[in-house]
Amino acid sequence: MNLLTLAWASLANRRYTAILTLLTIAISVTLLLAVERVQQEARKSFASTISGTDLIVGGRTGAVQLLLYSVFRIGDASNNIRWESYQQILKQPSVSWAVPISLGDSHRGWRVVGTTPGFFEHYRYGEKREVHFAQGKPFADLYDVVLGAEVAESLDYRLGQDVVVAHGTGRVSFVNHTDKPFQVVGILARTGTPVDRALYVSLEAIEAIHVDFVSGVQLPGRKISAEQTRAMDLTPKQITAVYLGLKTPVAAFALQRTINQYRGEPLMAILPGATLQQLWSLVGVAENALTIVAAFVVVAGLLGMLSTMLSGLALRRREMAILRSVGARPHQVLALLVLESGVLTLLGVVAGVVLLYLGIVVSAPWVEARYGIALGLGPLSVQSLKLLAGVWIAGLLVGLWPGIKAYRDALADGLSLRI
């Protein structure tokens, strides 16, 4: 009987303990691989939060700050863009389309974005995926509002419901535009991006709710009704940022330089993809923390196997002694224990990979709908294979301790009487 057959028979004889140890290793390996897979897909998803947009233009500030408030709705713009400057940008021959946005108001803590219907036509995320409507349609009337999926779900809003916008971006506001309520006409399908966490109205609507405000303060005694504003000129005076799509991507650098050197006011144009990578380098530190946690889980599983093998040696003293007495050499006893550890670890690794793919099949639709992370059933990456090889080698090394102990003590300990 060769050592592999003997190791398998030994594990089968202790099947319940072996199965529990195998499951421990499998679950820890699944967690390690899942963290690595989610990191890869999250990085790809993060990098494609906005796609198909060649440039984002805003008031001169830091590139990351411009990206944060224009795409992620985090923070506020230090400077806005005059409407005249926006018109000059539109005249650039390389510009194919432009989507202006205006920020500064909110509803129960959710950002309100003033924009044009072109936002729903041109905004892309992921692999240039379009924004779709789960219900309703884009805004058409002055007081129409479209809700992001997360806003609608969180507030349990439906089509036709009235929405009152608050002045400012805080969760609590003492100035509400109650005299100019909006009506929900559309709810966007979930994208897993910041699009889900905002309300969308027209640029003219943003002007309409502020016609009786000066420098952010409502003038006392100057109330202009919702119907009166319809007859007014609601051309925006300024906007917060502009998404630009170009006729050819190679023109991006030339137009970026032109905008950055614009003499009318200090402006800044950024390449969304490059700035997203820069931002990920700042927030992606959490990747390492997750990997470390998953690695400690694997170590805990291997230590559990070591503990089981060491405690099992006391029950296998006679087995080891009999093997020695029938001619097994000391190094064969050592090899048997290492082989058992290796077989158990290998089975745990295989089971962990199977669990990973089963988990992806079950959770992928929900994860993509909720977080915008597409978990594919693609092959394991080179990094994952290296991790698995490392786990298996670690499993072999774990078997050395009980193997060496059995190597040294099997015959003398097994045949001696203990009182």
204 vs 31, higher pLDDT = 204
What is the structure's pLDDT at 158? 94
What distances in angstroms separate CA 245 from CA 53, 155, 272, one per listed residue? 5, 33, 11
What is the structure's pLDDT at 34? 85
Q: Which of 264-273, 276-285, 387-396 has the highest mean pLDDT?
A: 264-273
Tens of pLDDT, residues 275-317: 888 887 766 666 677 778 777 877 887 777 777 766 665 556 5
pLDDT, averaged across the chain:
81
Q: What is the rounded CA–CA span in Å between residue 134 and residue 112?
A: 19
78 vs 326, higher pLDDT = 78
Q: Are 26 and 392 in contact (CB under 8 A)?
A: no
What is the structure's pLDDT at 77? 86
Q: What is the rounded CA–CA span in Å between residue 382 and residue 227?
A: 63
What is the structure's pLDDT at 235? 92
Mean pLDDT of 187-198: 90
Domains in the chain: boundaries: 3-46+284-415, 55-270
What is the structure's pLDDT at 217? 56
Tens of pLDDT, residues 63-97: 989 999 999 888 888 889 999 999 999 999 999 99
Task: Determine which of 60-69, 231-240, 274-283, 403-412 has the lowest per-residue pLDDT on average.
Answer: 403-412
State the number of CA atoms in the 13 A half-sphere of 65 facing the CB. Answer: 12
What is the structure's pLDDT at 225? 80
What is the structure's pLDDT at 205? 94
Tens of pLDDT, residues 330-381: 656 667 777 777 888 888 889 989 998 998 888 877 776 666 666 777 788 8
Q: What percent of the chain has pLDDT over 90?
A: 35
Q: What percent of the chain has pLDDT over 70?
A: 77
Mean pLDDT of 189-209: 91
Q: What is the rounded CA–CA span in Å between residue 249 and residue 226?
A: 42
What is the structure's pLDDT at 88? 93
What is the structure's pLDDT at 408? 63
- Does the pTM surpass 0.75? The reply is no
- The distance of Cα 152 from the centroid of its chain, to the nearest Å, equals 21
Cβ count within 10 A of residue 342 = 20
312 vs 56, higher pLDDT = 56
What is the structure's pLDDT at 414? 46
What is the structure's pLDDT at 417? 43
The C-alpha angle with vertex 216 and arms to 215 and 222, in degrees rounded to 5, equals 90
203 vs 217, higher pLDDT = 203
What is the structure's pLDDT at 249? 87
165 vs 297, higher pLDDT = 165
Tens of pLDDT, residues 224-233: 788 888 888 8
Indicate the Cα dihedral angle 258, 262, 266, 270, nearest 10°.
-10
Q: Are 141 and 205 in contact (CB under 8 A)?
A: no
What is the structure's pLDDT at 415? 46
What is the structure's pLDDT at 326? 57
Q: Are 23 and 352 in contact (CB under 8 A)?
A: no
Mean pLDDT of 47-72: 89
As given in the structure block, the two tokens for residue 327 are 């001619």
β-strand partners of 111: 106, 198
The residue behind tokens 């080179």 is 382
